Amino acid sequence: MQVILLENVEHVGLPGQTAKVKTGYYRNFLLPRGLAVEASEANLKMLSDKKQKLAVAAEKVLEAASELGDRLKGVTLNFVEKVSDGDRLFGSVTAVDVARSLAEAGFDLPRSKVALPHPIKNVGTHQVSIRVRPDLIVPITVIIEGEGGDEEEELGYADGGEEFADEGDGAETEAAEASSGNAEEPEASETAEAEEAAPAAAATEGD
């Protein structure tokens, strides 16, 4: 059926335009929300009276969308996520995450505007499309970094170095003890020889 749009309806049209839609869609969605009316002769006459106002409203919608598109150009969103193996994330970055990050950056957009067919599951730089309006799609950059991977490796290397240093200290200690033990043996031998020589010297003096 033909309808006259009273408001901007995504994927259907702008205010003041006529569009062909399914009857159920009109009765269950468009009509209850005041988004459209049936394109009857009476409504078409009413439309001609309001056409100028609707044209102004449509122009404002287009201008607002164009301004939003210009603001989105060059936008980069940064995420820091935990990684499980290499560059693969434990979880993922979804359209909801992108929409939330955009909101924090001052862009109040519904999740449906984020054209992300599948969640992002790897670190790196990704391009995500924002559907400002059906004929205006703006790409933004999403950068995902792994959390703590390089830092942990550096800490592990440092710990290992300390462990090897401890082992080296232990080896030096053992060598010092062994050297000390060998140094004591000659002293004991010299004492025994002196004790054996003493009686012999006494016997000689007696003769």
Its domain, for residue 48, covers 2-67
Does 29 reside within a domain?
Answer: yes
In this predicted model, what pLDDT tens digit does every residue of 172-196 receive, in sequence order?
545 445 444 444 444 444 444 545 5
Same domain, 106 and 143: yes
The C-alpha atoms of residue 152 and residue 186 are separated, in whole angstroms, by: 53
The domain spanning residue 56 has which CATH number? Answer: 3.40.5.10
Domain termination site, one of 129, 147, 165: 147
Does 129 reside within a domain?
Answer: yes
Residue 166 — pLDDT band, cuts 50, 70, 90? very low
In this predicted model, what pLDDT tens digit does every residue of 57-76 receive, in sequence order?
888 888 998 999 999 999 99
Same domain, 80 and 104: yes
Question: What pLDDT does 160 receive?
Answer: 43
Same domain, 46 and 100: no
Domain termination site, one of 101, 119, 147: 147
Same domain, 7 and 61: yes
Does 122 reside within a domain?
Answer: yes
Does 183 reside within a domain?
Answer: no
Does 8 reside within a domain?
Answer: yes
Does 204 reside within a domain?
Answer: no
Does 152 have pLDDT greater than 50? no
Q: Which of 41, 47, 58 is nearest to 4 (CA)?
A: 47
Domain termination site, one of 96, 130, 147: 147
CB 123 within 8 A of CB 81: yes
The domain spanning residue 130 has which CATH number? Answer: 3.10.430.100
Same domain, 51 and 104: no
DSSP string over 27-66: IIIITTTTSEEE--HHHHHHHHHHHHHHHHHHHHHHHHHH
Instruction: Say whether pTM exceeds 0.75.
Output: no
- Residues 185/188/194/198 CA torsion (nearest 10 deg): -150
CA distances in angstroms from 27 to 2, 12, 18, 33, 134, listed in the order given = 12, 15, 16, 10, 24
Residue 148 — pLDDT band, cuts 50, 70, 90? low
- Number of folded domains in the chain? 2
